[in-house]
């Protein structure tokens, strides 16, 4: 069974030529990220992903985490791999140097994160949730909380979790009923049950830091009455080391379709007198703080879709080169050939690869925007970066993960009947990818956020600015690239038409607008991905014209043309669905379903 190989050539190209690595590393605070440092980090991450994490991916699927008597034992090898992960400093790559992080750009940590997710999705979830806890405490924690928790979380010696969901409160967080009772000195006792808690219990570290949504005694109803608390598995002693066991226990873990190596815990708080916790930030502002974690997590889940898709493609391409079956079309009496010679197999592989390249480019460009939002000394540039990132994060999350499911499914199809057999490994990628469109907000939640908070609320200002930049970048798509340019031009027009309709319709008929929200998200993702593929095609064309014979450039031109012909052509139809699709969606009587 083949192992994961980080696609370093494409990663470097996207970082350098599309996401603007040189500009990002010139920002204040990024001086350490020289070209040599960036390249060394990518090379070492690729080795760790391929040699340590990837071999454990199948093991995690077949021999997942186990629960017994409130204790979770992770997959054999995971604990040792996590120890190496921490020892090598991978957890703190993009974190605050004041608390032990390396402070490297988000663009670089995004590429490294993609490797973890592609090599071993289940393993990668643990550091991903820890990063969310780090961000929330960095922004909203007290100095005491930061000093107590951030150094250990950033190093990875401790891990973090996000506790939102309850048995009666899924996406509707207004229904949260966990409670927190003050006991003096800023301390609370937390009571309640949380479900779907990723790595809520495990044996890889000596403490787990839970960030928990709960209500204080006088909290108002609804989302305005939710507060955020930090509740460690072991209460800290005066010297900051883990002390007495806190009253939070794992009462079971879920039996899931995929990501078996990642324990998804049911946690009970306060069954034996109350779990000790402290308030994060101000009372009743917990949901606001939790969204700090959620926004980071949503972007990272988009990277999970990218990683799963890349791994599925690599496995399918390897199989297609090795599997001998049938003769080549048009060759009478010819020998049996690898199935990669067959036109439809090539179509499936290019359908996978071209979208992966588009997804990667859009994610990395969004990461660079986050770097500018955080570090650019120019206020206007910071605002533009933040606006672009805010707009694109639901697209990166929703479109990338939905695409990943289809890409992983195509990976099974390339394998034919063997893809349905677990031993080939193709099915695992489909099962693992399936959760990505659900957690940290379903695709519909991402789409509703996109059309409501990110487009309608500001009358489409940022979306229209992005569309204007897409049009400006069409100028290079001429001559041999004219077909790609024409496809992109038509797709941009379709996106603009849909944006204008949403801006005009949302406040007057929110149901009609929302009925087309997910098709609109797909439309935006396809067009934004095509925009990046067009930019890549221009660069590849220039390289070839200058005499650069690297086959990478010819392949990039091929994937850009394929993407334009097979995906950008879907944009006008999706725009019509957004604009006219509400009638069929909303008119059916409920008792007719």
Question: Which tokens is 585 given?
Answer: 């969606």
Question: Which tokens is 280 given?
Answer: 């994060």
Strands (E), 271-425: 275-280, 324-327, 336-338
CA of residue 580 relative to chain centroid, distance? 31
Angle at 299 between CA 294 and CA 302, to 5 degrees: 125
Question: Which tokens is 590 given?
Answer: 């409920």
Q: How much of the chain is helix, strand and coil, in % rounded to 5?
A: 65, 15, 25
Q: How many CA atoms lie within 13 A of 256 on its CB side?
A: 28
Distances in whole angstroms, Cα of residue 40 to Cα of each of 36, 97, 111, 179, 190: 6, 20, 13, 48, 45
Catalytic: 135?
A: no
Q: Which of 166, 357, 440, 496 is catalytic?
A: 440
Question: Which tokens is 343 given?
Answer: 């036109």
Closest by CA to 309, choosing from 117, 158, 551, is 117
Q: Helix/strand/coil (H, E, C) string of 390-439?
A: HHHHHHHHHHHHHHHHHHHHHHHHHHHHHHHCHHHCHHHHHHHHHHHHCC
Closest by CA to 554, choosing from 539, 571, 573, is 539
How far is Cα 155 from Cα 83, in angstroms, rounded to an integer? 11
Residue 160's H or E segment, with its range, is strand 159-163
| Cβ-contact 30, 370 below 8 angstroms | no
3-state secondary structure of 133: helix
DSSP 46-76: HHHIIIIIHHHHHHHHHS--EEETTEEEPPT
84: which residues sit within 8 A by CB, 6+ positions away?
A: 48, 52
Distances in whole angstroms, Cα of residue 530 to Cα of each of 251, 364, 536: 47, 14, 10
Residues recognised as catalytic: 440
């Amino acid at each position: 069974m083949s192992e994961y190989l980080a696609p370093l050539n494409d990663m470097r190209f996207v970082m350098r030529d599309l996401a603007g690595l040189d500009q990002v590393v010139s920002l204040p605070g990024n001086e350490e990220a020289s070209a040599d440092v960036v390249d060394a980090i990518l090379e070492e991450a690729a080795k760790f992903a391929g040699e340590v994490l990837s071999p454990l991916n199948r093991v995690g699927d077949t021999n997942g985490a186990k629960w017994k008597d409130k204790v979770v034992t992770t997959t054999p090898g995971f604990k040792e791999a996590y120890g190496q992960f921490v020892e090598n400093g991978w957890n703190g790559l993009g974190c605050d140097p004041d608390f032990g992080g390396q402070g490297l750009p988000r663009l670089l940590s995004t590429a490294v994160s993609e490797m973890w997710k592609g090599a071993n999705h289940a393993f990668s979830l643990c550091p991903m949730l820890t990063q969310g806890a780090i961000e929330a405490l960095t922004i909203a924690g007290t100095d005491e909380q930061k000093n107590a928790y951030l150094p250990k979380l950033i190093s990875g010696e401790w891990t973090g979790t996000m506790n939102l969901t309850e048995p009666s409160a899924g996406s509707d967080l207004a229904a949260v009923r966990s409670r927190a009772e003050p006991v003096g000195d800023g301390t609370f006792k937390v009571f309640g049950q949380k479900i779907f808690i990723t790595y809520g219990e495990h044996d890889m570290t000596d403490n787990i830091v839970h960030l928990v949504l709960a209500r204080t005694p006088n909290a108002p109803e609804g989302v305005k009455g939710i507060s955020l608390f930090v509740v460690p598995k072991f209460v800290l002693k005066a010297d900051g080391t883990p002390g007495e066991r806190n009253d939070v226990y794992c009462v079971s873990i879920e039996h899931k379709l995929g990501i078996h190596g990642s324990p998804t815990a049911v946690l009970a708080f306060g069954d034996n007198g109350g779990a000790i916790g402290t308030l994060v930030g101000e009372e009743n502002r917990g949901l606001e703080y939790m969204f700090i974690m959620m926004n980071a997590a949503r972007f990272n889940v988009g990277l999970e879709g990218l990683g799963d898709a890349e791994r599925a493609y690599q496995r399918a391409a390897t199989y297609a080169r090795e599997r001998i079956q049938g003769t080549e079309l048009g060759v009478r009496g010819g020998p049996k050939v690898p199935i990669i010679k067959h036109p439809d197999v090539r179509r499936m592989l290019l359908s996978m690869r071209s979208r992966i390249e588009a997804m990667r480019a859009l994610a990395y460009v969004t990461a660079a925007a986050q770097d500018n939002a955080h570090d650019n000394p120019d206020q206007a540039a910071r605002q533009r970066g933040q606006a672009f990132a805010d707009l694109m994060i639901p697209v990166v999350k929703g479109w990338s993960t939905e695409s990943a499911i289809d890409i992983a499914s195509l990976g099974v199809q390339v394998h034919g009947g063997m893809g349905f057999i677990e031993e080939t490994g193709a099915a695992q990628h489909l099962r693992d990818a399936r959760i990505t469109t659900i957690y940290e907000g379903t695709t519909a939640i991402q789409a509703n956020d996109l059309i409501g908070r990110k487009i309608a609320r500001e009358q489409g200002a940022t979306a229209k600015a992005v569309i204007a930049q897409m049009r400006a970048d069409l100028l290079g798509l001429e001559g041999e690239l004219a077909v790609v340019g024409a496809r992109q031009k038509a797709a941009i027009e379709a996106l603009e038409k849909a944006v204008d309709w949403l801006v005009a319709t949302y406040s007057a008929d929110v149901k009609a607008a929302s009925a087309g929200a997910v098709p609109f998200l797909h439309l935006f993702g396809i067009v934004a991905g095509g925009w990046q593929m067009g930019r890549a095609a221009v660069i590849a064309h220039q390289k070839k014209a200058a005499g650069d014979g690297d086959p990478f450039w010819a392949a990039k031109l091929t994937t850009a043309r394929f993407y334009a012909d097979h995906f950008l052509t879907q944009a006008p139809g999706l725009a019509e669905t957004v604009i006219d699709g509400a009638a069929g969606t909303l008119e059916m009587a409920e008792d007719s379903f």
